Amino acid sequence: MAAPAPDRRIADLAAAFVELRTALGRVLVGQDEAATGLTLAVLAEQHAYLEGPPGCGKSELAAALAALSGARTHTLVFHRDIRETDLLGDVLLSRHRHRGHERLRRELIPGPLLHAEIALLEDLPRSPGEALGPLLRILAERHALGQPLPLESAVATGPLEQVEAPIDPLEPGQLDRFAIQLRLSGLLTGGLFDEAAVLLEREAARAPSRAAAPRSAVMSTATRHAAQRAAAALQVESRTIDAYHRLLDRLRRRSADESASGDRLMSDRSFSSAALRLVRAHAFLRGAPAAAPRDLGAIRYMVAHRLPEDVQEDFDHILEELLGDPPNVTMTETGAQMPGAQSQGDDSDGAAASSTASDSWIDDQADVPAPPTLFGKPPPPAQVDPLLRALVGRIERGRIDPDTDPGGQPRGYRPLRDLDELIDADLIEALLFAEGRLPGAPRTFERKRKSAGGAVAVLRDISASMAGRLTVWSSQVVLGILRVAARRRMRVGYVEFHHRALPHQVGGRLLHRSYSRLAEQAGQAKAVGQTNYEAPLRTALEGLRGGSGRNRHVVLLTDGLPIIGDTTVRRERQLARRLGVALHTVFLGNGDCPPVLDDISLETGGLRFYGRPLAGGGLRLEER
Amino acid sequence: MSDLTPLRDLLDHHVVGHDEVKTALLLALITREHIYVEGPPGTAKTRLAEVAAKGSELDFFFYQLHRDTRLAELVGDIVLERRKVKTDGAAPGTTGEAERIHQRIEPGGLLTAEVAVLDDISRAPGEALNVLLRILNERRFGAEPIPLMAAIATGNPMDDEYYNEPLDPANLDRFALQLRVSGLIQSGLDDAKTLIDRFASGSVVEQPDPEPVTDRATLDALNRRMVEVEVGAAVRAALLDVLRTLVLEFECNETNSLLTDRTFLVKAIKILRGAALLAGRDAVDLQDLNALSWMTTFRVPPEAHEALPRIIGRVSRQVRAV
């Protein structure tokens, strides 16, 4: 290009960040992408969220970033009992005597977090909403207690969403505060055995009791700041902006097509200013004089929670295709027509029009172009979100308000009732109380925890007609329900059925909390036999009969008419009504839904869902 | 024979059976790793931990967790510090004074102990444990390193009947060594007989406090010697093969297992070195790989854990053949 060569100083600044990237890459074996993402975070002054399974090195990487970049750092470990003062700083209580009466005023003195240039927020999702709200606002505004903060980047870590993790994950809207979103995988569970061998060799050579060697900074604060300023001021070539528009367009359309949550996570906040800062930083790191279209690769570090997983995996491919296939005309900003540029994207254009069900969508795979993968051709995933959301709604409705529990999360305040509770009391009020100067008792946390009651039994049709992709989709539905139940610590039961009911008991019980064992089981179902509704419903209701409480659900997953047993399941419907169990039905089959499913759902206050085939071979669960 | 034989003898003197737990306890003290022992009530879990701590003259902290456990009970007293500061900006005509109030923890309990026994850890609310377990993991509290060598946690089986919530997998991962014990009466006839005979003869009616038979200096020396224990290429290859088998054949993944890099690539090397030292060797041998089954107890599905000795045997034969 005609751009001037970067001057020497700029090159030095870029070199400092390249060194940071290199040093960071050495911290962990095989996590280069995260090292690059975090380097970009500092350079572009963006917040980053790092998630991964336990023990994959998230914390070590974040700590190394802080040390190597030479920034003033504060680490905050989030936990259930984290308080406002941990976030903001000490309390200052001032007393003013004025004409015989005393006036008390409380203020906050900015604490170490507010002085940090890089803030490390460990285990962020473990924090209750009370502390999280103010924190996220601080991160967004970079302003607290009436003064601007020196904060450049906050790096938060969190666990992977796991079936048995007892914490609620952050909401996508909360995660959106973190422009950079990185997902680490373990070397072992990710199958990276060569890298694992390198790590083993490194550990075998290293003294086990090594004192955690302090890492020294690779750059000064002045260098860091100068580089940040220079990167932010970098020009973005017009063809880059053009390509970015087209990239966003493709991502948006692919996302809307792939997932129920669609493109709603592509917020303006992230995809305008933050994204362009990252693109500039990417170019700066390359030593380029201006951001070229290839620097759009930086967007890859933003997508972990913003795009459906399929689109994420395809991201490099989508970008490559777009860059390798540039439009002929780049001058016209409003020129909507870009001949030949979107041959691959065309089929998503008519998503609405082409969603008519083909009669042969179950058996005939040849018609459906499956996405190429390394492991054969699995069918496109079923979109189970709508069912899960509706089910969550029913479950939440069935749960009573959270119970007061001393081990629960702080949710609001109440007056102190017992001196033991002083530890949970408001600091200042406890102090004044001790001095005998507080009229009444100090406020203390009211701790509550959601009742972990309730049960869900999943009845899954495994009759012969459920073969092929229906088996895969059913498994996805079952896993989704298990995840919903696990997060609420509800008991689960799992019954596969054909002409007979095959309950999967654990410890002799239908209902239990061994979620991962069931999850494994659900992945191994094989389709045989004919359909019988009576036997599985009977089994599930017998299992639920013993328990108490209102929050009891059965989800019946089937693709066909019952042939064996009482096909009207009259007695089971009656029993469910008497027990107050909601029977939800999900029909995955081809053709009309058996009317008996309507009766089952309507009579017991259950949901009625069916699987709508999608263009491209997918399936979306929708309410009937 | 190793430097810890006297301690092992002491454990044998005080507690009948439970061979594996005893070995694993010593391994925990050498490698400075934490250990989790799960078993029904009354299986000498706490007693073993106590004898090991007292027998090696270590500062001992015992805490019984409960569902209302709060951090302060484990780490010391919460202190409110008040400091007078000058105020500025007070309204005219007023005389002002202000206090800066800071909450901190005066270290005690876990923060000053060398060996900590955390009894019934599964009874504490999962979230309350998070900070505790992080202290265990990092061995420092704030910026201060703590003298803790090993935490020994015990728990009851995670069945519904004990009204426990299962430990968060990430929390359980902080305990490098994990064992499941059962009562002698259920498992070994001979040990049960010995136990009953001892009680019948009256020799255990008065349990005296164990005499110290070793000390921190010995343990420190052993810990320093770990560096010199060689982990050869054959052992590393075998370890990786075992792990590969767990992932590829037994389909251990992020959902059903805790096959974390920290544990099986970093800590496993330490455990192997410790096992070699405990056996009085200065190089890790293929047979030391058997210590891996003290790491997999709650980290992989039961069938994979049970198959581990077989896998190790197969892999060892293959490696030897090469």
Q: Mean pLDDT highest for which of A99-108, A449-458, A554-563, B21-30?
A: B21-30
Smallest Cα distance from A200 to chain B, Å: 6
Contact assessment for residue A231 and residue A282, using Cβ atoms and an 8 Å cutoff? no
Any CB–CB contact under 8 A between A201 and chain B?
yes
The per-residue pLDDT for A246 is 93
A427–B80: do the CB atoms touch at under 8 Å? yes
At A412 the pLDDT is 76
Using pLDDT thresholds of 50, 70 and 90, give the confidence band for residue B205: low
For residue A104, the chain B residues in CB contact (below 8 A) are none
What is the largest distance, in Å, between two alpha-carbon atoms of chain A? 90
Residues of A in contact with B133 (CB under 8 A): none
Model pLDDT, residue A221:
93
Nearest chain B Cα to A58, which residue?
B262
- Contact between A149 and A143 under an 8 Å Cβ cutoff? The reply is yes
**Is the confidence at residue A199, as pLDDT, over 70?**
yes
Is residue B312 within 8 Å of residue B289, measured between CB atoms? Answer: yes
pLDDT of residue A342: 37
CB contact under 8 A, B254 and A162: yes
- Predicted pLDDT at A391: 85
Whether pLDDT at A49 is above 50: yes
Nearest-by-CA chain B residue for A506: B159
Q: Do A406 and B261 touch (CB under 8 A)?
A: no
CB-closest option in B90, B101, B168 to A165: B168
Confidence bin at A373 (pLDDT 50/70/90): very low
In three-state form (DSSP H/G/I as H, E/B as E, the rest C), the secondary structure along A58-118 is HHHHHHHHHHHCCCCEEEEECCCCCCHHHHHCCEEEEEEEECCEEEEEEEECCCHHHHCCE
Residue A52 pLDDT greater than 70, yes or no: yes
Rounded to whole angstroms, the Cα distance separating A485 from A480 reads: 9
How many angstroms separate the CA atoms of B107 and B212, rounded? 26
Q: Do A200 and B240 touch (CB under 8 A)?
A: yes
- Three-class DSSP category at A409: strand
Query: pLDDT value at position A128?
Result: 67
CA B231 to chain A, closest CA, distance in angstroms equals: 6
| φ, ψ dihedrals at A620, nearest 5° | -125, 130
Band (A338; pLDDT cuts 50, 70, 90): very low
Shortest CA distance to A304 belongs to which of A49, A31, A40?
A49
Q: Which tokens hold the place of A335?
A: 């020129």
Whether residue B165 and residue A163 make contact (CB cut-off 8 A), yes or no, is no
Compare B268 and A306 and report the one with higher pLDDT: B268
Cα separation of A443 and B155, whole Å?
Answer: 35
Q: Cα distance from A440 to chain B (closest Cα, Å)?
A: 21
Residue A356 has pLDDT above 50, yes or no: no
Cβ B254–A56 below 8 Å, yes or no? no
More confident residue, A269 or A332: A269
Please give the torsion angle defined by the CA atoms of residues B130, B132, B135 and B141, in that order, rounded to the nearest 10 degrees. 110
Rg (CA), chain A: 28
State whether residue A163 sits within 8 Å of chain B by CB: yes
Cβ within 8 Å, pair A204-B165: no
Candidates A115, A96, A116; CA nearest to A107 is: A96
Q: Chain A window 472-511: which residues touch B at a Cβ cutoff of 8 Å? A: 489, 507, 509
Q: What is the pLDDT of residue A154?
A: 96
Our CA angle for B125, A60, B274, nearest 5°, is: 80
Of B220, B211, B197, B249, the closest CA to residue B149 belongs to B220
Output the pLDDT for position A430. 83
Contacts of A332 (CB under 8 A, 6+ apart): none
Confidence bin at A208 (pLDDT 50/70/90): very low
Distance, first Cα to last Cα, chain A: 58
User: How does residue A101 score in pLDDT terms, banded at 50, 70 and 90?
Assistant: confident
d(CA B96, CA A395): 55
Residue A103 sits at φ, ψ, to 5 deg, of: -115, 130
Tokens of A186: 């373990």
Which residue, among B240, B254, B242, has the nearest Cα to B301 in the 3D structure?
A: B254
Q: How confident is the model at residue A198 (pLDDT cuts 50, 70, 90)?
A: very high
- Binary contact (B98, A93; C-beta < 8 A): yes
- Alpha-carbon torsion A532, A534, A539, A540, what sign? positive
Contact B258 A507 (CB under 8 A): no
Task: Report which residue type is found at B265.
Answer: L
Nearest C-alpha of chain A: how many angstroms from B318?
A: 18
The predicted-structure confidence for A574-619, as pLDDT tens digits, reads as follows 988 888 888 999 998 777 888 899 999 988 888 999 888 887 778 8
Q: Specify the range with the lowest mean pLDDT, choosing from A69-73, B61-65, B189-193.
A: B189-193
Of the candidate ranges A314-323, B118-127, B225-234, the one whose mean pLDDT is the lowest:
B118-127
Instruction: Report, as an integer, the average pLDDT of A264-277.
Output: 84
Residue with token string 């308080």: A83
Residues A167, B127: C-beta atoms closer than 8 Å: yes
- The residue type of A335 is G
- The single-letter code of the amino acid at A189 is T
Tell me: pLDDT of B65 over 80: yes
| pLDDT for the residue numbered B165 | 55
- The residue-averaged pLDDT of B252-256 equals 79
Cβ(A496)–Cβ(A462) under 8 Å? yes
Q: Which of A126, A162, A507 sits opposite B255 (nearest CB)?
A: A162
The residues in A 82-101 lying below 8 A from B, measured between CB atoms, are: 85, 90-99
- Coil, helix or strand at residue A448: strand
Residue among A68, A21, A8 at smallest CA distance from A285? A21
Closest-CA distance, B12 to chain A, in angstroms, reads 29
- Residue B4 pLDDT: 87
pLDDT tens digits, residue range A507-538?
778 888 788 788 888 878 777 888 888 889 98
Note the pLDDT of residue A359.
Answer: 32
pLDDT band at B1 (very low <50, low <70, confident <90, very high): low
Determine the residue of chain A that is closest to B69 in CA distance: A407
What does the pLDDT look like over A426-442, one tens digit per residue?
877 888 888 887 888 88
% of chain A surpassing 70 pLDDT: 82
On the question of pLDDT at A414 being above 50, the answer is yes
Side chain identity at residue A299, one-letter code: I
Report residue A178's pLDDT band, with 50, 70 and 90 as the boundaries: very high
Q: Which of A181-185, B105-109, B212-216 is predicted with the least confidence, judged by mean pLDDT? A: B105-109
Per-residue pLDDT at A210 exceeds 50: no
- Distance (Å) from the C-alpha of residue B200 to the closest C-alpha of chain A? 36
Supply the pLDDT for residue B178: 93
Higher pLDDT, B102 or B293: B293
Instruction: State the pTM of this model.
Output: 0.75
Reference A490, options A391, A570, A364; nearest CA is A391
Would you place residue A363 in the very low, low, confident or very high pLDDT band (cuts 50, 70, 90)? very low
| CA–CA distance, B58 with B51 (Å, rounded to integer) | 10
- Is B101 in contact with A81 (Cβ distance < 8 A)? no
Chain A to chain B Cβ contacts (< 8 Å): 190
Q: Minimal Cα distance from A185: which residue of B?
A: B254
The pLDDT of residue A505: 85
A188 closest CB neighbour out of B80, B166, B247: B247
Contact B100, A92 (CB under 8 A): yes
Higher pLDDT, B63 or B157: B63
Q: What is the pLDDT of residues A475-489, one digit of tens each?
A: 888 988 888 887 777
DSSP for A166-177? -SPPPPHHHHTT
| Beta carbons within 8 Å of A520's beta carbon, 6+ residues apart | B256, B301
CB atoms within 10 A of CB A511: 21
Strand B35-38 with B177-180, pairing: parallel
User: Do residues B289 and B269 touch, judged by C-beta distance below 8 A?
Assistant: no
pLDDT digits (tens, 9 = 90+) for A241-258: 999 999 999 988 888 776
Q: Do the Cβ atoms of B127 and A199 come within 8 Å? A: no
A112-116 contact pairs (CB < 8 A, 24+)? A112/A74, A113/A74, A113/A76, A113/A87, A113/A88, A113/A89, A114/A88, A114/A89, A114/A138, A114/A144, A114/A145, A114/A149, A114/A151, A115/A72, A115/A74, A115/A150, A116/A71, A116/A72, A116/A73, A116/A74, A116/A150, A116/A151
Nearest CA in chain A to B271: A208
Q: How far apart are CA A35 and CA A65, in angstroms?
A: 9
Name the residue among B72, B128, B260 with its Cβ closest to that of A407: B128
Q: How far apart are CA A21 and CA A285, in angstroms?
A: 9
SS3 content of chain B, % helix, strand, coil (to 5): 50, 15, 35
What percent of chain B is modeled with pLDDT above 90?
Answer: 33
Q: Do A209 and B97 touch (CB under 8 A)?
A: no
pLDDT tens-digit profile of B295-316?
A: 998 888 888 999 999 999 999 9
Measure B163 CA to nearest chain A CA, in Å.
Answer: 12
| B227·A407 Cβ contact <8 A | no
Average pLDDT in chain A:
80
Nearest neighbour of B98 by CB, restricted to A95, A191, A427: A95
If you measure CA to CA, which chain B residue comes closest to A189?
B253
- Residue B37 has phi, psi (to 5 degrees) of -120, 120
In this predicted structure, which of A71-75, A144-148, A301-305, B122-126 has the lowest mean pLDDT? B122-126
**CA separation for the pair A77, B137 (Å, rounded):** 13
Instruction: Give the per-residue pLDDT at B163.
Output: 47
